[in-house]
Structure 1
């Protein structure tokens, strides 16, 4: 059964039968918030929300070594892959609007952390977003391991969702849910790197 994470909560990604997971998927889902008030309901929900999931890869020196996002869908090493840009919030069959596949067992040992962020490229703030979440899934069997509710509405345009951190041969997953400002992961990369320091 999946764990519903609270902010700052950490779980180990070791398999129940022993050993570490080899591949995981970070899934992000959201909807446009329903209109409120008389005129909002009269006009209907015509707003599309373009949120962008990104992965900042951090090396052993604590520096951002690579960035996987809508402008670069695969890491230089090929071990982190983005599903592609979703500009509306209309999800696929399992509800994720964007996802990032990580081959943990094949990552260079110099990569010690992976920070996952989400930004509103169009500059709409999160008061226009509803039902937002991120989840971590075992990519080999499709089992959801943990989920974090990201539906804190407000004037922010970005969130540092969570991070994976190497712990020997295993990885831990930590929920962050920290609000920030910036239209892209590049805009918040210094802040994102700081969460794992």
Structure 2
């Protein structure tokens, strides 16, 4: 079996009003992990969530994101940005070169609280869970009009995403998740 080389700007792209995802390496390529590049627009907040089976690794390439990867003392349902762990850990402002590892079961989230897009490299194992999730999420976001929260929840239920705080995008998310 040969390896795979994916030049800059190459890969299968999914573009929605919420974010842009470029698949670099997928389960279809023979990989046990998915690897993709994500453009995170200003105001996007993935919301705190967990995965029972998946582990993830995030690496910030450009811009800044607020990130979190710990179990809080109190899992509030509206905002994860104010969470604190039993050891005093809080969300971190992560610039280029920062990374985050998330084992299965660990609450985590990221948001772009700035006025500029951020870019990150993201890996998830096992493949193809996140690939299929993003494919279907793109369909929901591209349907036009408002996003059906019920459809998003059914998608999360199928792909091991236990959402704790809401997914937000756009100017309203920017104004509520800024520091």
- For Structure 1 versus Structure 2, the TM-score category normalised by the shorter chain is 0.3 to 0.5
The structure having more radius of gyration, on CA atoms, is 1
TM-score between both structures, scaled by the size of structure 1: 0.33
- Higher helix proportion: 2
- Higher strand proportion: 1
TM-score between both structures, scaled by the size of structure 2: 0.35
